Amino acid sequence: MTDYMILFPADREDEWDGRSDEERQAVYDNDYEFGRLLEQRGGQMTGGAELSTWQKAHAIRRGPNGTALVTDGPYAESAEQLSGFYLVSIDDEQALLEAAQVLVRAHRAVEIRPIESQGDD
C-alpha cells in the first residue's frame, strides 16, 4: 500500500477556538465519515492528530554559522498554519481522492501528499 499524509491548512485558528461543542462534533463526524469511506475503498487510517492552537509552540531555525535559533511559535513563513493531519494507506490514489472529497465539507482546504518510501534497509 502507498502511504499518504492528509494535511489541514488553517488560516484562522481563532475560528476553531470560537466554535461550539456541537459545531466541533460536526467536524469530527465528517472526518469519521471520511474514515468509513476510506475503508470501503480498501484503505485505512494509520494515524493523525488535531494540532493545538492554544498550547505554546516553538520554531527552530538555522541561524548564523549554522547555530540553532529557538523561538516561540509557530512562526512558519506562510499565510497558513496546519491545524491537523491524517496518515492513511491505500493502493488506489483515485479512491483516496474520492473519499477525501467529503473532508472539504468541514475543512476549508485539504492537501494530500504521498509519503516517500524509505525502503527496506
pTM assigned to the model? 0.79
Inside any domain, residue 100: yes
Of 69 and 98, which is predicted with more confidence?
98
pLDDT tens-digit readout, 12-48: 667 777 889 999 999 999 999 999 999 999 999 999 9
pLDDT of residue 26: 94
Q: Is the pLDDT of residue 120 over 80?
A: no
pLDDT given at position 77: 55
pLDDT of residue 67: 92
Residue 121 located in a structural domain: no
In a domain, 120, yes or no: no
Q: DSSP letters along 73-85, please? A: E---SSS-EEEEE
The predicted structure's pLDDT at residue 12: 66
**Is 75 among the domain residues?**
yes
Any domain includes 66:
yes
How many independent structural domains does the chain possess? 1
For residue 12, tell me if it sits in a domain: yes
Assign residue 67 the CATH number of its domain. 3.30.70.1060
| Range(s) of the domain holding residue 92 | 2-114
Chain centre distance of CA 53: 14
Between 71 and 31, where is the model more confident? 31
Q: Nearest Cα to 70, choosing from 82, 79, 57, 61?
A: 61
- Considering the domain boundaries, does residue 65 fall inside one? yes
Q: What is the pLDDT of residue 94?
A: 96
